[in-house]
Amino acid sequence: MIYKHANVKNSKRYQRKVLGLKAEVSCVFVMDRIILHVDLDAFYASLEELRKPEIRGKPVVVCVYSGRTEESGAVATSNYLARELGIRAGMPIAYAKRAAKGHDVVFLPTDLDYYRETSERIMELLEEHADRFQQVSIDEAYLDVSETCRGDYGCAEKIAQEIKQEIKVQEGVTCSVGIGANKYVSKMAGKRKKPDGLTMVLPGTEADFLKDLPVGKLHGIGGKTEAELEDLGIKTASDLAGYSLNTLEEKFGKNKAKLLRDKSLGIDESPVEQKEKQQLSRIATLKQDTSDAGEAFVKVKELAEDLQKRLINAGTSFRTLTLITINNRLGMQTRSQSIEASTDINAQLPILENMLKKFLNDDPTPLRRIGVKVSNLSYRKQEKKQKTLADYGL
């Protein structure tokens, strides 16, 4: 056993035992990379269950409807009970409904504003735990904690446990976390135990962790490549790892052959790429639908206060201010205004209030949601406060 699930106790002692290390030479890991991959479990469906308690315990399917017919469109995601029925993302809705026949399955349309709003809060939470952070989708991100943990996988495990708990308490949803020495391995680890899983792959154990997986389960290997590998008698990662590289190069070319070999061995040098955000926004649901500008502006001020904290943390100024309104018919409107570069959104509240009044004068349809966005951002260089092992009780 040379990889482990993260609920094994005494991580530091386990690491030294597995890797044959002595305490006095543990500094060899100081510069080793430690990457976390965080994947929010059945995110859209989980959020729908959260706000509709009556559907919990049922198979839930969230769909993108095209509007042509009641069944035209595709499945965006499904919860794990629906997946047990064979209903998965990308499936035509008509096929999903056939698979659901005879079962009490709930079909819902997507509500992307709601999902994005929640995702933004979670991604902010995740970024606070990372030395470098890369969001790759609405429900998935990589966290590089190499500097904080300095080779200590027990530290990384502690961070992962804190993240899981914070997301569950703050947002009411679960996530699965993979920990490894690179992005590829951490992603594969995160898939090992879902939902609400936590799996860690220690350095040097990557090939053993992957060896029994069918090649089609290796991230990035599609159906066509899987079929071509199987034609060569390659069915598992270990088959691929042990196959002649020259033969692979003849079949796939030098670059792809190397990529395939690297995947089978868990090798990946790609960095966690921190990107500067191009905009910051917050959208929230009002306590009740309203066409009263005063009532709605109370929420605008709350959102502005939250955005102000984010502006300070990001070290950025903005030149464009936008107000977003969504009425109770789900119609969305935006109104923007360019301003002199500012780091203080609270100073712009009169502009937001004026925008809101104009919105409601032009269209008094009651508002259900309201949002504030700042864009045209300009970042100043600043040192991010470095967390240490002590911050995680290690």
Residue-level pLDDT, tens digit, the chain, 394 residues: 335 444 333 333 333 333 343 333 333 333 589 999 999 999 999 999 999 999 999 999 999 998 888 788 999 999 999 999 999 999 999 999 999 999 999 999 999 988 988 898 899 889 889 999 999 999 999 999 999 999 999 999 999 999 999 999 989 999 999 999 999 999 999 999 999 999 999 999 999 999 999 999 999 999 999 999 999 999 999 999 999 999 999 999 999 999 999 999 999 999 999 887 778 888 888 989 999 999 999 999 999 998 998 898 888 999 999 999 988 886 778 899 999 999 999 999 999 999 999 999 999 999 998 999 999 999 876 545 455 555 555 5
To 10 degrees, the CA torsion angle through 302, 305, 306, 310? 160
Number of domains, the chain? 4
Predicted pLDDT at 392: 53
103 DSSP assignment = S
Do 50 and 33 belong to one domain?
no
Do 136 and 175 belong to one domain?
yes
Map residue 388 onto helix, strand or coil.
coil
Please enumerate, as own/partner, the contacts of 208-216 that have beta carbons within 8 Å and a separation of 24 or more.
Answer: 208/2, 208/3, 209/2, 209/3, 209/185, 209/266, 210/237, 210/238, 210/264, 210/265, 210/266, 211/236, 211/237, 211/238, 211/241, 212/236, 212/237, 212/238, 213/188, 213/237, 215/239, 215/240, 215/264
Do 236 and 250 belong to one domain?
yes
Separation of alpha carbons 108 and 326, rounded Å: 19
Do 48 and 191 belong to one domain?
no
To 10 degrees, the CA torsion angle through 185, 188, 193, 197? 60
Give a yes or no: residue 69 inside a domain. yes
Domain with 229, as residue range(s), is 211-265
Separation of alpha carbons 240 and 276, rounded Å: 38
Do 34 and 167 belong to one domain?
yes
Q: What is the CATH number of the domain that holds 296?
A: 3.30.1490.100
Identify each DSSP E strand in the chain by its residue range.
4-5, 35-40, 60-65, 73-78, 106-109, 132-137, 140-144, 175-180, 198-200, 279-290, 316-327, 332-342, 367-375, 378-379
Polymer length of the chain: 394
Taking a C-beta distance cutoff of 8 angstroms, is the pair 157, 179 a contact?
Answer: yes
Predicted pLDDT at 13: 33
Predicted pLDDT at 282: 85
Output the pTM of the full model. 0.74
Residue 24 is among the residues annotated as catalytic for this protein: no
Do 288 and 312 belong to one domain?
yes
Helix (H) or strand (E) holding 235, with range, is: none
Q: End of a domain among 76, 111, 146?
A: 111
Residue whose C-alpha is closest to residue 198's, from 142, 157, 143: 157
Q: What is the CATH number of the domain that holds 157?
A: 3.30.70.270
Predicted pLDDT at 332: 78
Do 17 and 156 belong to one domain?
yes
Give a yes or no: residue 387 inside a domain. no
- Greatest CA separation found in the chain? 72
Does residue 195 have a cis bond before it (omega within 30 degrees)? Answer: yes
Which one of 49, 127, 140, 157 is the catalytic residue?
Answer: 140
Do 187 and 146 belong to one domain?
yes
Do 227 and 372 belong to one domain?
no
Do 26 and 47 belong to one domain?
no
**What is the side-by-side strand order in the sheet with 175-180?**
4-5, 198-200, 175-180, 35-40, 140-144, 132-137
Do 292 and 369 belong to one domain?
yes
Taking a C-beta distance cutoff of 8 angstroms, is the pair 234, 245 a contact?
Answer: no
Pairing of strands 60-65, 4-5: unpaired
Tokens at 11, concatenated: 């991580």
Give a yes or no: residue 351 inside a domain. yes
- Give the DSSP letter string of 325-351: EEETT--EEEEEEEEEEES-SGGGHHH
Please report the sign of the dihedral spanned by the C-alpha atoms of residue 302, residue 306, residue 309, residue 310. negative
Give a yes or no: residue 57 inside a domain. yes
In the block, residue with structure tokens 């308490």: 169
Tokens at 32, concatenated: 């080793």
